[in-house]
Structures are given as structure tokens and as C-alpha cells.
């Protein structure tokens, strides 16, 4: 009778398995932590305490790369100010985080859905279900970018915890060959993704609580950096006034209430004046603030903001110098 061990010993090894296994063994994000080998035997609260402690180390890892992150943001904002787009590209968790960040920009900053985009290996269905093998194709990434009509004013951000995902690397390589700005966001040092990009952002958070489960600390680090990238870029583009979301799109009752509150915080005006300003500007928060603080009508506010490339402070300065 053949033993299971003997049968497994005779099983064929997939092509490239040895090389891939060797690569994974060198990655910090894949490292095994023997001190956690008995974690499944611990009380739930103790596991939660350990996990919480692990998570608390992520902001410090991000902080170490703030100069590089800031440089990447300034370069991105410069391209977007010329009409370029911000495009995220990744697979699995990394791809989902990019799609998530992109989808939040229209309601938060009133961007057109075509201005900030998220590409995920395997297409939209990969948001909820794994598409086998999609992450292994550089060519798929190039095709996805070509489908968007990539231009030199665009910024492409490859996202990959390991820094070796072919889809993310392929996106960055193809974008760079087309003259677009490229960022590579990973969680391992000396990654192929960072090497391929003009701005390599390597947020090294160390081995995961569960070996290789990069949706944990690595995913948190990527989310924090993407928050910075989109938010600060939008600040640079004049999408905020101080820390107020003056370009918020009031698409539901909660956001309509928020719009009124933002106008109130920016101007100190009473309810009736706020309602009149919003009515005169078709609900555009930034325009309503300008009508109140600048003492202009709705059409004039729209013209001043257009001439100021949407920067409210610049539009107010223009009013005060006339």
C-alpha cells in the first residue's frame, strides 16, 4: 500500500514553483514568526491585544517615508493641474484599495469619475471574487491602461504589498514608457515595483500576524498612503478651503446637510443667508461661500473660480483687490 507521503513525493512540481518559493522566502511580508506559532491557543482578548499592537506600528513605518510621499504628491498634483488623471493599478487587496480610494473622490472632492481611477487585475468582478492568474500578467496591465488612453499628464500608481506582482509592475513599466508619472507603493525594501517607478514608496511594516496575510499591516499601510496621496493632492488642487471639503457633492440628504454646515463654518452666516447662497449657486458649496464672503452674485462667483482654477482663496483675493 502506497503511503500519502510516498504519493506526494511523486507528485509533479509546477513549473517555476521552486523559484517562486525562493522569492517569497526573501520577502519581509512573507516571513514566518515562530513566536506567534501558538497564537490560536490564546484567549480571544489576548489575540486582539497582540493584533492591535501590531497595527499600532504601521503609522511609524509610514512616517519614515513622508519626504518621499510628499515629493510623489507634489509631482502628482502638478500633472493633475494640467488635466492629467490619477490611476491606481493593483491586484487582490492592493487593487481593491486603489478602487476604493478612487471611488471616494467624486463624492468627497466633486471630481469627475474619470479623473481618479482604479484598475484591478481581472476587472471589476475581481473586487468581490478572485480572478485566478490575473495578477501574473504584465500584458494585461498594459492593455488596461491603453484602454484608458494613457497620456503623459497622467499619474499611474502601482500597488503591491510584495512589490513583485507582475500586474502592478507591468502597469508602471508601461506607463513610464508612455511618459506618464509613475509611483510604486509596496511593503518590502528593494522591490522590483519601486525600482520600476520614478517614485518608489516602500512602507516596510514587517512580517504579518498571519504569515503572508498582507491584507493586515501591509493593507493598512497602503490605505494610509493612498489616503495621503488623494487627499493632499486634492488640497493642492484647491478642492478644500482650510480643512473644509468645499467641493463636496451633495448627492444625498446627509451630504446636503454637510454642505450647509460647511458654508456655515466657512462664513459664519445664518441659515437664511446660507440657503439663499446655495440656491443662487445651484448647491455648489465653494461658490456659495464666495458669494457670501466676496459679496458677489452666483454667476460672478462661478467666473472668479474658473479664472482661479477652482482655488477659493485665490478667488477671494481677486475680489478683495478689485
Structure-derived torsion over alpha carbons of residues 20, 23, 28, 32, reported in degrees to the nearest 10? 60
208 is catalytic: no
135 is catalytic: yes
Catalytic pick among 104, 198, 273, 275: 104
Residue 181, H or E segment: strand 181-186
Residue 259, H or E segment: helix 253-267
Catalytic pick among 30, 54, 115, 135: 135
Dist. CA 189–CA 194, nearest whole Å: 9
Q: What is the 3-state secondary structure (H, E, C) of 1-60?
A: CCCHHHHHHHCCCCCCHHHHHHHHHCCHHHCCCHHHCCHHHCCHHHHHHHHHHHHCCHHH
Q: What Cα–Cα distance (Å) separates residue 224 from each residue in 67, 143, 205, 233?
A: 15, 28, 12, 14
Residues acting as catalytic residues: 104, 135
Amino acid at each position: 500500500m502506497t503511503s500519502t507521503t510516498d504519493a506526494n513525493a511523486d507528485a509533479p512540481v509546477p513549473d517555476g514553483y521552486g523559484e517562486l518559493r525562493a522569492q517569497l522566502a526573501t520577502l519581509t511580508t512573507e516571513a514566518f514568526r515562530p513566536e506567534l506559532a501558538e497564537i490560536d491557543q490564546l484567549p480571544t482578548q489576548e489575540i486582539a491585544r497582540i493584533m492591535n499592537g501590531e497595527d499600532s506600528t504601521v503609522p511609524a513605518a509610514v512616517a519614515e517615508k513622508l519626504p518621499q510621499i510628499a515629493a510623489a504628491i507634489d509631482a502628482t498634483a502638478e500633472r493633475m493641474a494640467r488635466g492629467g488623471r490619477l490611476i491606481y493599478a493593483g491586484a487582490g487587496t492592493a487593487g481593491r484599495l486603489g478602487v476604493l480610494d478612487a471611488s471616494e473622490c467624486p463624492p468627497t472632492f466633486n471630481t469627475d469619475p474619470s479623473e481618479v481611477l482604479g484598475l484591478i487585475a481581472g476587472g471589476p468582478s475581481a473586487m468581490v471574487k478572485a480572478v485566478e492568474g490575473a495578477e501574473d500578467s504584465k500584458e494585461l496591465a498594459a492593455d488596461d491602461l491603453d484602454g484608458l488612453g494613457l497620456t503623459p499628464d497622467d499619474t499611474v500608481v502601482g500597488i503591491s504589498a510584495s512589490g513583485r506582482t507582475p500586474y502592478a509592475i507591468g502597469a508602471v513599466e508601461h506607463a513610464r514608457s508612455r511618459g506618464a508619472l509613475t509611483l510604486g507603493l509596496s511593503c518590502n525594501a528593494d522591490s522590483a515595483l519601486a525600482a520600476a517607478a520614478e517614485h518608489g514608496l516602500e512602507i516596510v511594516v514587517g512580517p504579518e500576524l498571519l504569515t503572508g496575510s498582507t491584507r493586515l499591516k501591509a493593507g493598512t499601510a497602503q490605505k494610509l498612503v493612498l489616503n495621503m496621496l488623494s487627499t493632499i493632492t486634492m488640497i493642492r488642487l484647491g478642492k478644500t478651503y482650510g480643512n473644509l471639503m468645499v467641493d463636496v457633492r451633495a448627492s444625498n440628504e446627509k451630504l446636503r446637510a454637510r454642505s450647509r454646515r460647511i458654508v456655515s463654518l466657512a462664513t459664519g452666516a445664518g441659515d437664511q443667508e446660507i440657503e439663499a447662497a446655495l440656491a443662487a449657486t445651484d448647491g455648489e458649496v465653494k461658490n456659495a461661500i464666495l458669494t457670501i464672503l466676496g459679496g458677489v452674485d452666483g454667476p460672478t462667483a462661478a467666473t472668479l473660480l474658473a479664472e482661479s482654477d477652482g482655488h477659493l482663496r485665490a478667488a477671494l483675493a481677486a475680489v478683495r483687490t478689485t
